[in-house]
Copies of this chain bind each other. A is one copy, B any other.
């Protein structure tokens, strides 16, 4: 940690600050510059987190040198984490495809989707039973009934099931139905939810918040891992910017960053990331070549009857073509 002192700090303020640092077991190194004095704090600066240093008078700014996360970092664990889900895995070197509708709408819808996925050798079925919607007048999901449909469809087709939990109370209710708990973008900073998921023995797919920095996203994973659950899959799904041609701005650099900074697998969701059907294939191909561990795409038997996200959902024919093109993309490194 580096502390830049104000030009007009008093001697007494400086002494109080040095004293406080030393009391915390750290060593201050003072460099007196021509215009500013800086203090380099030597020792494990993480012990300063949550400690009231930055409000002390006479400080211009504080710069953290160390990364604020530990367990999820590449420095802590160098080899890639492989998340095992029954007889399947994400992060094992294969490029995974997760597919399914935004909302679970009926038993038939889930069965036909699951069947389609199985035929196309896809291993992961997604679908939401609890839908966070901007409007209280929009379809809010089928709840427990939906969970039954997706579980049954998954079981009958040997697919691992991924579904979103929007509230810590949903975890218990959902537990027996799902293979992977999804945390949506709106809940990335719902620390109660993250903490509860950290206590579960099933993997968590953690979407990046729509206005979260890469570091905040990784910190959210640290919340989960700190509680004991290290089976975390990160998922980039676009950030909110001024651009309105796309629904969000898909930030593929964040995938490269997350792969470098952490040992966790990282997926890309081009359906929410762009909100446009015609961009799904190119963004899936891009995800593959930049080193993502897979993609999550919205597929619906009849997109024009979907109760949510119908504009960005693929029908079976479109999805099949895209799956094939993703698989054909192979190159020597």
With known contacts A50-B137, A304-B57, A253–B240 Cβ distance under 8 A: no
Question: What are 29 A-B pairs at a CB distance below 8 A?
Answer: A2-B40, A7-B75, A31-B31, A33-B40, A34-B44, A35-B44, A35-B65, A35-B66, A52-B304, A52-B306, A53-B310, A55-B305, A55-B310, A136-B223, A140-B191, A166-B191, A167-B190, A190-B190, A211-B240, A211-B242, A213-B245, A249-B253, A250-B252, A250-B253, A252-B286, A253-B273, A253-B279, A256-B283, A260-B278
Residue of B nearest to A247 (CB): B253
> Using a Cβ–Cβ cut-off of 8 Å, how many residues does chain A contribute to the interface with B?
111
18 more CB-based (< 8 A) A-B contacts, given A33-B42, A34-B43, A187-B190: A4-B65, A34-B42, A34-B44, A49-B135, A50-B135, A52-B303, A68-B134, A133-B191, A190-B190, A211-B211, A211-B240, A213-B245, A214-B245, A249-B249, A252-B252, A253-B274, A253-B276, A256-B283
- A169 beta carbon closer than 8 Å to chain B: yes
A16 to chain B, nearest CB (A): 9
CB distance from A268 to the nearest CB of B (A): 11
Chain B residues positioned under 8 Å from A163 (CB to CB)? none
Contact surface of A with B, Cβ cutoff 8 Å: 2, 4, 7, 29, 31-36, 38, 40-44, 46, 49-57, 63, 65-66, 68-69, 75, 130, 132-140, 166-170, 186-187, 189-193, 210-211, 213-216, 219, 222-223, 226, 239-246, 249-254, 256-257, 260, 273-274, 276, 278-279, 282-283, 285-286, 288-291, 303-311, 313, 325, 328-333
Residue in contact with A213 in the complex, picked from B49, B242, B290, CB distance below 8 Å? B242
Q: Inside 8 A of A170's CB, which chain B residues have their CB?
A: 192
Residue in chain B with minimal CB distance to A71: B136
Known pairs A4-B65, A34-B42, A54-B310; A214 contacts B243 (CB<8 A):
yes
- What is the CA–CA distance of A132 and B257 in the complex, to the nearest angstrom? 25
In the complex this chain forms, how many copies of it are found? 4
Given A219-B135, A254-B243, A279-B253: A33 and B43 interface contact (C-beta under 8 Å): yes
Q: Chain B nearest CB: distance from A122 CB in Å?
A: 20
Report yes or no: A289 in contact with B282, Cβ–Cβ below 8 A.
yes
Q: Which residues of B contact A213 (CB under 8 A)?
A: 242-245
Inter-chain CA distance A66–B6, complex, in Å, is 11
> In the bound complex, what is the Cα–Cα distance between A40 and B307 (angstroms)?
22
**In contact, A192 and B214 (Cβ under 8 angstroms):** no
- Whether B52 pairs with A42 at a CB distance below 8 angstroms is no
| Cβ contact within 8 Å between A38 and B2 | yes
User: Quick one: given A50-B137, A68-B135, A192-B166, are A253 and B246 in contact (CB under 8 Å)?
Assistant: yes
For the complex, what is the distance from the CA of A309 to the CA of B50, rounded to whole Å? 10
Nearest-Cβ distance from residue A227 to partner chain B, whole angstroms: 8
- A242–B251 CA distance with the chains assembled, in angstroms: 12
